[in-house]
Structure formats: C-alpha cells, structure tokens
A and B are shown apart, each in its own frame.
Chain A
C-alpha cells in the first residue's frame, strides 16, 4: 500500500481550545500503529495549520489521500481511530463527520488574499511558506524594482490601512521615503485591542511569514533598517510563532545584513504590549516601545516626521503588511480589480456574536452586509431575529437590521454612522439591549482612557454615569439630549482617536434606537429584557407544575414552594440572574 496521505489539523487558538493538540497526537499514534503494515507509506505527513476561519466548527481536520481532500468538522480525539481505519486505510471517508454544505457556503462568497495561505501553510515551517511562493515578492522587489517603483505599485493597487482609519498606505510610505533623517523605523502594529476582533491574531498565528515579508518590502521601500512588531502579550501563541518565524527568516537570509546579497539591511524586534488599548494609537504605541506610559502626543509632528526615538517612523497594521507580498507577486491591477472605486481589495472581518457561522472571513470590499450575515454567516443563531450589526468595536457604531443593504467599504460605513475599524463585526439579536451595548463600550473606553486630556478622561466618565443611571431605571428627562451634546463635545475636543471616537457607540445607538432609550427613561422598562434593575421575574401559577427545578438552580434561595404545588419568587431575595427562567421547562417563569 503506497498512499500519499497528508493530514492537516487546525491549530489556531480556537483549534487548540477545542482539543487540537490531542487530536493531532492521537492521529500520530493511530497512524504509527497502522504504519507497521505500510512501511512504504513514506509520504504520510502531518501538518499543523493556522486558522482557516471557521473556528466555530473546530477541530477541523483535512485528510488528503492521493490528492483527494476531505474536511472533517468537530473532531475529537476518540474519533481519530475510526478516521484512520476507514478513511486512510480503507479509503472510504466517513460521511456523517464531514463538513456539511454550509461549510462550503461559508467559504464560497469569500475572496481570500491575506488569508489565502492561512490554514494551508504550516506556520512553524518556513519551507511550507516558501513552497507556496513565499518570499518571491521580496526577491522581486530586491532584484527588479527601485524603492519608488515599489511604492508606485502599492499606490496603483489602492491599498489603504487596515487598522481602522483607512489612510492610503502608499501615501504614508511616500512621506517616509522623503523624510530626512539618518535612521528610520518601520513598526508593525499588532496591538489588536478592539474587543471582538481577532484577525491580526489569526494572521500572525496562521501565516507569520507573510507579515515579515510585507515588513521587508516596506523597509526596502522607505529605507528603514530597523523594524518592530508591537504585539499583545495576551496572544501567547502568536508571539511564539512570530519569534520562530523571525528566527527562520534570519537563518535563510531574508532578515539581517545584506539580504539576499542585495545590500539591504533589515532587522525585526518583537515588543510585547503590556495591555493598554490606547497603545493602538500611533504616538502612544511609540511611547510604549520607548518604555514609557503609553500616552498619545499632539500631532504634528507626525510619527513620519518625528517618531520612535525622534526618527521618522512608519506604523502599519498587520493586515496591511500581509497584503503587500501578494500585491507585489500578483500585480497592482489584480488587487485593484477587487472592491469599490475608493476601497480596493479585500477586508478580513471577525464575524461573531449571535451568528450561526462565526469565524474569520475575508470578503471583497463593497459586499452588501446582508450577504455576509445570511450567506456567509448562515443567519442568526437559535432562530432569533437580527437586531443590529456592530462594526468597528468601541470606536464604531451599530447598523440596524433594516439597513442590511449597506455595503462594506470605508465610505458607506462612515455614512451610516459606523466605521470599518479593524474589522470586528458583532451580530446582535432581539434579546440584546442597545442601551446596554452602548454602556458596555463606554465602560471599555472609559477604563482605557489614558487620562491625559480632560475631554476624554472626564467626558467618557460622565457619559458612562448617565448611561448607567438610565440602565438602572434612574434616567431623567433630558438625558438623551445631554448625552448627545456631551458626546459631540468629547468627539471634537479629545486629543487622540480614542476620545474622538469613544462617543460613536452612544451616538449611533441613539440615532437608530432612540425609542429604546425612551422606554428605559420614561417607562422604566428594558424592551429587550436585559437591564437587571428594570426586570423582575415571577412565576405564572397556572403553568407551574411544582417540579422544583427552579428551586434547585436558584443561587440565592429566592424560590419557595412545596413539591407539585405552584412556587413563588421572593422579590427581595431575587438577584435576577435568570437561572430559573432558563431552567423552567413549562415556560412558567415570566420575565418583565
């Protein structure tokens, strides 16, 4: 038996949390045990691959026998033996465990550039990346292009910064090449702080060499001999793989002195972020690399004029840099053919929340939101109704269900009062309270405000206080107007992007869900049934069978009653946790 077998196990953070390591080692054992009767089976290889996006179905395993690929979902270690026996040895894939049709619909509408190698290459092996055309772009620019020509290609491709603001990458590089100075720095911003976004983590975990290759090209274009990757310490796997990739790139001569014998010197250092959202802001990030408190500075001077240690510095986001090698390899016109007039190419989104198929997706710019939610995402979880889609994290806004025709590009999103941001996309359903969502984001920005400028430090605090009292049923007449005017002040007078965008979630929820705010303030009612202080639980006697299930789950001991007789909730003791509501099989608990 001489079969060409290869097994790919998804080993991103999602895959590992679902048991990827055990699945992989069980495969190794199971294959070794059958390997005895198939010693000639030399080609059997095991790969760990990075994130392929569909983390909700982990562990995902590709089994490729003689070129025929089958993908299994939800694989647990105890299922491995059967796959090896029936599929690898017997040649018959196990139909019930294979991915279902929606796995394919999840991928069909996607166009993968940045993620094209994620889930295909082994992130811990440079040869795997080289085998798929890796570092060809570096060779191309170093041998056939001048720095200015490199920038011109990026300019023609229309690539814009993927970190949030959408500033054209080539314009930034152009300013850097013209900036005078004995030294220049290129920083890769991997301080992905937005809650609900994980594309940068997945790219670094799944294909770290693409980021490094993008950095080398950027360094060549602007003439920077030193690079930094500023990455969150909360991403241990990404950090580990990045270190390994840098080491391998150095060994192969893609980093270091005189790269590929073409006279380019470029070294990359990894700096771990210490946990501060504001360090995603360029000047704060620079302060943090210098070892200081990560507080932003007034601009100008811009980092490109006076950045790290006072030298001209360019900061690009992970996804931006990971696009660069593909653009160089395939050409600017190929890239510019995707997307809209002003927003070119593709964008990676982290599709999460109350969505059936949550995961990492890459779509062409300009795709309507509804195609993302219904075709790729498969619709809303548990048959609930869509309420809104939140994009852009704490700096963004909510797009209501009746505006799902909105297209995903920088211009259209800002028109509806949201932003592209780094690409977080959290789907909310009818059981989510929009005032609570606004409060959640304000809690975040308020605690992450660095405290340097007063509008942000005090303004976010006051905004949060007003939102808190509204959700506690203590809202007053005029609070909505007060929120609006204060939000406008914070927006216009804050020093950096954090404060300037912090009021966005409040403004966008007021814009589309003013009635919900009014219900909280005037009727002391939370229409979605989320805000605890506006809720009470009671038992409907006619439905209660006295099964005592609720008494047993109540953590506060607030439910009394005899077996087989209607129970009662003592309101003074009830902590409104909702455990009884979820446990009752007879729908006898009333919430409201």
Chain B
C-alpha cells in the first residue's frame, strides 16, 4: 500500500499533477477512494482531507465505497432512455440483488452504475459489462449475460484492478 502511494506521489510530482489526478490515480489503483489513502496524501501535501472530499464528491467518477468485482454500466443518455434503458436497469438491480439506494451488491460481486451518456447512441440502449460495450441490448440478452457472469468463477479484487 505504502509503496503504491509513493508511486502515485512521484507521478504527481513529475507531471505537475493536481488533486484530481491524485484521486484518479488512487481510484484506478484501489478501485475506490480509500480513506487511509486520502489521509496519507493529506498529511504528505498538507492539504486538509475536506479538500479531497470536496472534489471527490463533486465528480461522478469517484467512489467512496468499494466497488463490485463485476462492474455493469448502464447508459442513461437520451437515446438509451427513449429506447428503454430504465427497464434494463430495473431488471439488473433486481437480478443482481443490489440494495436500495446502493450501487453494489452485499457480496461485492456486482456494481450497477448509471452514467449520463457513453456516446454510442446509434446502438442504443447500451450496457457496458466489465468495459465491453454491448449495443442494442434487450432484457433477455442482458439476463443471459448476467447468468454467465454469475456462473463464471467469482472474480477476485485483483483481477478487476
């Protein structure tokens, strides 16, 4: 952990980075913004943690809680919306047992997140499963996809990172 943080710190110094780039690096290193990582940087840079949290909570890209090993991203752009993305999301939340008001299932296997627009509107509705873009999605196709994921080997945190 310490080593990874030092690595981020060096990158930050060399590239004249800023607080956003530090947070982006922490997020890609650990999958979410760990409290201890933020505190480490806060001490190192003499910047209060509140400043980090102010930025972290402003941007949609940052997450304060651990994320699931499988990340399913549902596009909520206008084209996807009029082509039924809401129904896809409802079926995902139900199928993957995502608790109310949360994005991630209790066993940390699945995260269902909504994004504004991934810019692939001509193949709407779009669902991204672990970084692979699937266009013209239907509830049936989606459930099949989820079934393979569920039956497949449980992913460890390391292979997500």
- A353-B79 in contact (CB<8A): yes
User: In the complex, which of the residues B59, B82, B121, B133 contacts A428, with contact meaning CB atoms closer than 8 Å?
Assistant: B82
Q: How far is the CB of A195 from chain B (nearest CB, A)?
A: 4
Closest Cβ neighbor of B55 among chain A residues: A293
B123–A58 touching, CB < 8 Å: yes
Q: Does A234 contact B (CB under 8 A)?
A: yes
Number of A residues near B (Cβ < 8 Å) is 57
Q: A358: which B residues are within 8 A, CB to CB?
A: 79, 121-122, 124
Partner-binding segment picked from B3-11, B19-27, B35-43, B104-112: B19-27
* B87–A577 CB distance below 8 A: yes
The answer, yes or no, to whether B77 is at the interface (CB within 8 Å) is: yes
**Contacting pair A14 B60 (CB below 8 A):** no
Q: A418 on the interface (CB 8 Å rule)? A: no
Known A18-B135, A274-B59; judge A352-B81 contact (CB<8 A).
no
Whether, in the assembled complex, B18 has its beta carbon less than 8 Å from a beta carbon of chain A, the answer is yes
Task: For B76, list chain A residues within 8 Å (CB).
Answer: 195
Q: Does B130 contact A (CB under 8 A)?
A: no
Q: Which of chain A's residues has its CB closest to B77's CB?
A: A195
Residue of chain A at shortest CB distance from B135: A17
Say whether, besides A234-B115, A276-B59, A352-B124, A17 and B134 are in contact (CB < 8 Å).
Answer: yes
Chain A residues with CB under 8 A of B139: 579
Cβ contacts B124-136/A at 8 Å (1 or 0 each): 1010000111110
B90 on the A face (CB < 8 A):
yes
- Nearest CB of B to A509, in Å: 14
Given that A291-B21, A440-B81 are contacting pairs, would A17 and B120 also be in contact in the complex, using a CB cutoff of 8 Å?
yes
Assess the B61–A290 pair: CB atoms within 8 A: no
Point out the residue from B91, B122, B132 that lies within 8 Å of A56, measured CB to CB: B122
Task: Report if A432-B119 is in contact (Cβ < 8 Å); known contacts: A276-B58, A291-B19, A294-B58.
Answer: no
Q: Give the A-binding residues of B (Cβ under 8 A).
A: 17-21, 23-24, 54-55, 58-62, 76-79, 81-83, 87, 90-91, 94, 115-124, 126, 131-135, 139
Q: Which residues on A are within 8 Å of B, measured CB to CB?
A: 13-14, 16-18, 55-56, 58, 192-198, 201-202, 233-236, 272, 274-277, 288, 290-295, 350-354, 358-360, 390, 393, 424, 426, 428, 432, 437, 440-441, 444, 448, 450, 555, 577-579
The 8 closest A-B pairs by CB, nearest first: A291-B18, A198-B119, A275-B60, A274-B59, A196-B78, A195-B77, A195-B117, A55-B122
Given pairs A293-B54, A390-B78, 4 additional interface contacts (CB within 8 A): A195-B79, A293-B58, A424-B78, A555-B94
